[in-house]
Amino acid sequence: MPLVKEQRSSPDSAAIIDFPPEASSLAIRGLSLAYGDKPALNDLTLRVPRHRVTAFIGPSGCGKSTLLRVLNRLHDLNDEVVREGEVLLEGEDIHAPEVSVAELRRRVGMVFQSPNPFPMSIHDNVAFGLRLQGGLSKRKRDDIIEWALRSAALWDEVKDRLRASAWSLSGGQQQRLVIARTLAVGPEVLLLDEPASALDPISTLKIEELIRNLKSHLTLVLVTHNMQQAARVSDYTAFLQHGELVEYAPTDTLFTNPRLARTENYITGRMA
Amino acid sequence: MREASSRRLRLPRGEGAGAWLCAGSVALSLLALLALLALLTVRGLGHFWPSPVELVVLEDGRQLAGERIREVPLARGDGVERLYRTGNRDLDGDRWAWVRVAAIEAVSHPVDLVVLERRRWGQAIGRLAAFQAASGERIEGEAAWAALEARLDELTALRDARDRLREEVILPLAARRGDEGLADGELTAAHGRLRELQAAMAGGRLILDTADGDSLSVPLEQVLGARRPNAMSTLDRLAAWGEGVWRFLSEGPRAANTAGGVWPAIFGTVLMVMLMSILVTPFGVLAAIYLNEVAHQGRLTRLVRIAVRNLAGVPSIVYGVFGLGVFVYGIGGRLDRWFFEASLPSPTFGTGGLLWASLTLALLTLPVVIVATEEGLARIPDQQREGALALGATRLEMLSQVVLPMAAPAMLTGVILAVARAAGEVAPLMLVGVAKLAPQVPVDGDFPFLHLERKFMHLGYHIFDAAFHGGDVQAAMPLVYATALLLVLVILVLNLTAIFLRHHLSTRHGALTRR
C-alpha cells in the first residue's frame, strides 16, 4: 500500500488536533522510546486537554500502553528502556532531576488492566497511598477514604465491610476499589490502562459511568482496545500505529469522519 | 454428592494398565507408609505396656521368671526357642534367657511376682521376701509389699521436693551470691533443708527372692519403681503404661542410653530446629528477594540461581565437614582465643555445640528456603508491584507492604521444608555438636539462660547411639522404635505448626486470584 507508506513518512499535521497550553494538562514533545534496540514510540508530540477524557486506541503493540507508562514514569524500573523527548505536566518536565518520582506518581495516578488490590482490607487498600504520605490524622484519613470510595461509586457496597479482605470483592468492585485507592491520594491525572477489559459488561458500564463522572475534576487518559468504549466515554481520541501518532481528533470526528485512510481502516476493522 | 463420591472411588475401567499402575503405586506408597508407622507404634509403644511375668518350670527342675519377648524357630526344625527377659543382670550376668519351648514343663503367672525398675543393673524380677525400713524395722510377707509401695510413693514426693528446692531456691540464690552478701544466710538455710530431705530419703532396702533361688538385696534409693504385673487390672496396666510413656518423654536417659527417657533429646532437637529456622529464614528470604526483585535478571543471576538449586543436593555430611572446619575450628577456635582465653586449652566455642549445629543446618537448608521463597515471589503478578509503585511507594515500601505479605505463605512453605529436612539430619550433627549424653539441656536458669556453646542431645542421634552403641541392643531396641516414633511425631508437630500458620496467612485474604 504505497499510500500508507507515504503518510507514515510525513504525518499529516492537520490530522492532529492541538490545544492551547493553558487548557492542557500534559504535553508530550518529541517522545521516542525503545526497549533495548526495539523501538516502541517514535517522535510523539501531543497535548492532553485538562478535565477531559482522552482515549488512546490502536492495534496491539502500537505503543499506547508504553506511552501511558511513560506518563507515570513506570519505565524507570527497566534499565533497558531508552527514552528521548520530554513530557510536561502542567508545564514542568516530569523527568527533570528535581522531580520526585513518588510525588509525580501521586499527581498522576494509574489503574491497570486487571484489578490489583493489595492483600489487605478494603479500608487499608484505600489508606495505602495516604499512609505512605503520612501526616494525616486517622479521622482525616477516614474522611478521605469515604470520599474516595464514594467518588468511585463503591461506598454503598462496601461501607459495612471495610475491614473485609479486598480480595473478597468481585472483579468489578476490585477495579473500582483500585480507582478509589488512586483517587484517595488526590491525583490531577488518572491513567487507565484498559481498565474494563477483564470485567463483565455490567461492571464495564459502571466503570465507564465512573470515568464520565470523574472528568469534572480530573484529566483522564484511557487506553483501550474497545472502540465502542472509546466512543462512549472519551472526548478526544488518538489513534496510534507502529509507535506513531496517526490521528488525534475529537472522538465524534475521529469515529465518524476520520481524515486518514489508516484510521478509517482500523476503526472499521479492515486492518489486522 | 453421592454420585460424585462414587465416581471418585470407582476403579478405572477400560483405560488400560496405566491407570491401574498409577493407582497401584499410590496404594503401595500408602501401604509402606502405614506399615512404617504401625511398626514404630506397636514396637515403640508396646514396650511400655506392663506385660505379664511368667514363672517357667523347666524339665530339669530349674525355674525362671521373666517377660516373654518372642519365639524363634530353631535350625534343623528342632522346635522353637523362646526369649525371656529375666532381668537380674547383677546375679546372672545376663538379662535374657533363651528357653527351648519343648523343655518347658509348666508356665504360671503368680500374682506375687515383682518387677523392680532399678537405677543400675536394669530390671529385677522375683518375689518380695522382706522390706527393711530406714529405721531397721523388718517387714515380711504380704505386708512388705504394702509397706514398699507406701515408701516408694513417699520417696517420689521427697525427690520432687528436693528437685524443686534445688531449682527454685538454691540455684537462684547461688547465682545472686556474687553481687549481694545478704543471700548467704538464706543459702545456708536452704542447704540445710536439702540435707534434711536427703536424710529422709536415705536408708531402707528390700530383699527379693529370685525364681532360681537366689536372694537379692536392693537399697531403696536404687529403686525407681516396683510393680506386680500379674496382679494388675487392665486399668492399672493402662495407668502404668501412661506413666511409662510419660517417664520416657520427661526423663533423661539411663544405662548408656538403653533405658530411661529422651527428654533432653526432644528438647535438643526442637531447640536446634527452632534456632535453625530463626537463622535461616531471614537469610533465605533476603537472598530470594535480592535474586528475584533487585538483581538484574542476566546470565549471572541465572548462574547463581542454578548454583543455589544445586546446593540443595549436596550430601549433608559435606555440610558437617564444612561446619566443623569453618564454624567449630575456624570461628569457634578464634572466639576462644579472643574471649575465653582463661579456660583454654579446654574449648568453649572451639568444640561442637548448639550454635554451630544450628548454623550448619541453617546452611544446609538455606537453598530450600531461597528456592521456595523465590517461587512465591515469582508467582506474584507484576501488576501488584506496579500498583504499589503507581501510588508513590518506594521499592522498599512496595516490597515490605505488598510483595512480602503475599509471598509469606511461600516463605513458610520453605521453612516447613527446611524444618522437615533439618529435624531428620544426623550425619552433620555428629561432627558439629551432638552428644551421646548431655543431661543438662542448653536452657537453664544461669545467665545467659540459652547456652549456645553446649553440646546437646538429638533424637536422631539418640536412635543411632542406642541401636548400635549400647551394651545391650536387645534391651535398647524397643526404645529405638519409640524414639523413632517420637522423632516422626516431633517433625509432624513442627510441620503442622508451620502449616497452620501458612493456612492462617493465606486465608486471611483468600486465595490469590489469578486471571
Same-domain check for residues B267 and B208: no
Residue B320 Cα, gap to closest chain A Cα (Å): 41
CA distance B8 to B2: 10
Q: A195 in helix, strand or coil?
A: coil
Same domain, B125 and B104: yes
The partner residue sitting opposite B392, judged by closest CB among A113, A129, A178, is A129
pLDDT score, position A260: 85
Q: Is residue A167 domain-resident?
A: yes
User: A261 pLDDT band (50/70/90 cuts)?
Assistant: confident
Lowest mean per-residue pLDDT among A186-195, B183-192, B265-274: B183-192
B403 touches chain A (CB under 8 A): no
Is the predicted pLDDT of residue B489 greater than 70, yes or no? yes
Model confidence band, residue B479 (pLDDT cutoffs 50, 70, 90): confident
- In chain B, % of residues over pLDDT 90: 7
Q: Do A114 and B383 touch (CB under 8 A)?
A: yes
Give per-residue pLDDT as tens, B169-221: 777 776 666 555 555 677 777 788 888 888 877 778 888 888 777 888 888 87
Residue length of chain A: 272
* CA of B495 vs chain A CAs: smallest distance (Å): 25
pLDDT mean across residues, chain B: 80
What's the pLDDT band for B34 if we cut at 50, 70, 90?
Answer: very high
Q: What are phi and psi of B450, to 5 degrees?
A: -105, 115
In order of A105, A194, B349, the CA distances from B390 in angstroms are 5, 16, 51
Residues of B in Cβ contact (< 8 Å) with A103: 392
> Does the residue B27 lie in any domain?
no
CA distances from A8 to A230, A248, B232, B259 (A): 24, 15, 102, 91
Task: Return the pLDDT at A6.
Answer: 37
Residue B346 identity:
S
CB contact under 8 A, A102 and B512: no
Residue A84 pLDDT > 70 = yes
Q: Among the three residues B217, B250, B283, which one is the final residue of a domain in this structure?
A: B250
- pLDDT at residue A10, as a whole number: 43
Q: Do B394 and B455 contact (CB within 8 A), yes or no?
A: no
Q: What confidence score (pLDDT) does residue B176 get?
A: 65
The CA distance from A132 to the nearest CA of chain B, in Å, is 7
Whether residue B157 sits in one domain with residue B129: yes
pLDDT bracket for residue B511 (50, 70, 90): very low
Q: Give burial (CB, 10 Å; 0-12/13-18/19+) of B102.
A: exposed
The stretch B115-138 carries a mean pLDDT of: 79
User: How confident is the model at residue B515, as a pLDDT?
Assistant: 32
Q: Which residue has the higher pLDDT, B94 or B355?
A: B355
List all residues of chain B from 485 to 514 with a beta carbon under 8 Å from chain A.
Answer: 508-513
CA-to-CA distance for B417 and B499, rounded, in angstroms? 11
- Determine the structural domain holding residue A108 and report its residue range: 50-62+101-268
Res. B494 pLDDT band, cuts 50 70 90 = confident
Residue A209 included in any domain = yes
Highest mean pLDDT among B72-81, B126-135, B166-175, B373-382: B373-382
Instruction: Give the residues across from B58 on adjacent strands.
Output: B104
Give chain A positions within 8 Å (CB) of B386: 74, 110, 112, 116
Q: What is the pLDDT of residues B154-171, one digit of tens each?
A: 888 888 888 888 777 777
pLDDT, residue B58, reads 83
Check CB contact under 8 Å for B388 and A128: yes
Note whether B238 and B279 are same-domain residues. Answer: no
Specify the higher pLDDT residue, B70 or B447. B70
Q: pLDDT category, A1, cuts 50, 70, 90?
A: very low
The grid coordinates listed for A159 are 461501607
Q: How many domains does chain B have?
A: 2
pLDDT band at B130 (very low <50, low <70, confident <90, very high): confident
End position of a domain, from candidates B218, B250, B282: B250
pLDDT class of A4 with cuts at 50, 70, 90? very low
B294 in contact with A at a CB cutoff of 8 Å? no
On the question of a cis peptide bond just before residue B448, with omega within 30 degrees of 0, the verdict is: yes
State how far the Cα of A62 lies from the Cα of B20, in Å rounded to an integer.
53
Are the beta carbons of A196 and A229 closer than 8 angstroms? yes
**pLDDT of B168:** 76
Range of the domain at B425: 263-514
Is residue B164 domain-shared with residue B267, that is, in the same domain? no
Answer whether residue A45 is part of any domain: no
User: What is the pLDDT averaged over residues A254-272?
Assistant: 80
Q: How confident is the model over A211-227, as pLDDT tens digits?
A: 888 888 889 999 988 88
- Read out DSSP for A25-61? EEEEEEEEEEETTEEEEEEEEEEEETTSEEEEE-STT
